[in-house]
Chain A
């Protein structure tokens, strides 16, 4: 303590130089990753952005954006995309929160075993899992066969090639993305807080709502955000399970590339989706104190 107290000038300069050097070391260590992000992410996105402002003749033009504004179907598709993503996220939270809570209460070894069950689907391709849902849910699929065989319902239920099928498939595939960060943040919660609440007379449910839930919110918000954003660009699963009745932006991008042979037309859709997403997240962060929830600011 006493050695540091008389902060003389040379010491301060040395400390400063040390600090600078450390900064540079850290910077150069992260340089490869930064370069990678720049080359793999920033450059292509910038390029798409640029293309969306070029006409077929290669001149600056807003024609792609005008088309988005003039055709009613684009607005409807954006609306469907956000609605489906929102509902999928809500379903993931409803299913994922209790599961993550249960896992967090279990002894670590058993929790790890259960976690494998959660992660196992990750090892199977999304395409295979989507087709599996098709096999389960279609008119002559396993679920309808059994349900009708047991006399639970007489006519085959429309479980797939519609919104219901899309939501089932997307929720299933997105669930691990919610559970992983949520489980991590729940594990980090000190059990003594809940005990302290109980000690002060809170009922178990009060202790959960007043203490545990707020502490687990950063993990929940992180997970829900990841799920929501991944849903916005989801292609394969809604394309196969929606039966062409649930049309999302990603699917329209594919249609437009086929139709116009033109990356610009599709880029404009991508740019609008990106801008809307960023705007929405910004708004949500302003409204809900996002940074605080994510554990960023003090």
Chain B
């Protein structure tokens, strides 16, 4: 008991120390934002972070990180230096459940014009992406496979496939291929039999899966190189690949709708300012501008109505109402509850 008290004291002291060291510049209205770097953060910086900073008259310092594991380390050691954290929706949901994020105040952040389900207690959606079925147009022409049933149909569409090497977004297509209607996918997946059914369906396709991809860069490269004929992956990557001359097309039909979001670190040094910052970058005009840099759609539907996104371009974005209607939104509650167990079963299946 005494030891724990001592420990608490040291942690508190460390936090105090961190507070005095890091809080001083914060008086000058500064917040620190952390994201994943690369082309993605560049788009965020140009369309969201810096314009919002200018509009609010504050300074936004940008850092990059590897993922929620890094944030966890900061929070657990009581030395939080980040205010706003960019994250995938699933990671954010689990981090929120674990208590390393601040709950968001939706009386400050206006989500009234957001697409349903694209914000959560601990994270407000920033952009929408889809896990789609893409195909090699050299192998299948312009009218390639249009559904997950086609993806599994090796008679009608012979060729090599690539599939994800981790469980996120990998089970839903298998069930839809097996005939489960999109709106029942998560109900079925929530039972042990349903999970087994999905895994068995993937086992069935395994001999035709040449590559189990682990990153967006990888599945894009597979299509650029013509290494496989059919692949699952994130739509934005395929658009970039197609722009660079890859023979690739994709369909939003039965795709999985998912989003990236912004959260506030638990114990963030400038929590209130960070909340206002999130309110600012959630406005439709920022989100509309973001699409100019990368083909991920806005979470705020109003962004489509401002006339800032050209209509023919808007039709290419995952969250465009026409496209969103064809897709299955990722169910985060299912992932919070089941991901660890499903992932173990998935890894078992992979190593068989």
Contacts and interface: CB of A to CB of B under 8 A. Distances in A.
Interface of A: 56, 58, 67, 71-73, 76-77, 80, 134, 138-141, 158, 161, 239-240, 243-245, 247, 252, 255, 257-263
B339 interface: yes
Contact of A71 (B72, B218, B227, B344): B344
B225 A261 contact: no
Contacts of A259: 166, 339-340, 343
Interface stretch (B53-61, B107-115, B205-213, B277-285): B205-213
B226 A139 contact: yes
Contacts of B165: 244, 255
Contacts of B71: 261
B227 A255 contact: no
A138 B227 contact: yes
Contact of A76 (B69, B73, B98, B351): B351
Given A80-B351, A138-B225, A247-B350, A262 B211 contact: no
A245 B212 contact: yes
Interface string B316-352: 0000000000000000000000011001100110111
7 nearest interchain CB pairs?
A244-B212, A73-B347, A244-B165, A243-B211, A76-B351, A261-B69, A73-B351
Contacts of B95: 261
Contact of A252 (B213, B347, B352): B347
5 contacts: A73-B348, A138-B227, A244-B212, A244-B214, A262-B69
Nearest to B165: A244
A72 B349 CA distance: 10
B69 A77 contact: no
B210 A158 contact: yes
B340 A72 contact: no
A77 B72 contact: no
B182 interface: no
Nearest to B71: A261
Nearest to A58: B76
A161 B227 contact: yes
A56 B97 CA distance: 13
B103 interface: no
B348 A261 contact: no
B68 interface: yes
A258 B71 CA distance: 12
B94 interface: yes
Interface of B: 67-69, 71-73, 76, 91, 94-95, 98, 160, 165-166, 210-214, 218, 225-228, 339-340, 343-344, 347-348, 350-352
A73 B339 CA distance: 16
B341 to A, nearest CB: 10
Contact of A261 (B98, B212, B214): B98
A252 B68 CA distance: 17
B213 A71 contact: no
Chain A CB within 10 A, most for which of B71, B72, B73, B351: B351
A161 B69 contact: no
Given A138-B225, A161-B227, A258 B351 contact: no
Contacts of B351: 72-73, 76-77, 80, 247
B213 A244 contact: yes
Contact of B210 (A67, A76, A243, A258): A243
B227 A140 contact: yes
Contacts of A72: 348, 351
Contacts of B227: 138-140, 161
A141 B98 CA distance: 46
Contacts of B160: 139
A248 to B, nearest CB: 11
A73 B166 contact: no
B244 to A, nearest CB: 16
B68 A261 contact: yes
Contacts of B98: 56, 261
Contacts of B340: 259-260
A155 to B, nearest CB: 12
Given A139-B225, A239-B214, A261-B91, 15 more contacts: A56-B98, A58-B76, A71-B344, A134-B225, A139-B160, A139-B226, A140-B227, A244-B211, A244-B350, A247-B351, A255-B165, A255-B166, A259-B166, A261-B72, A262-B69
A262 B352 CA distance: 26
A261 B336 CA distance: 13
Given A139-B227, A244-B212, A258 B72 contact: no
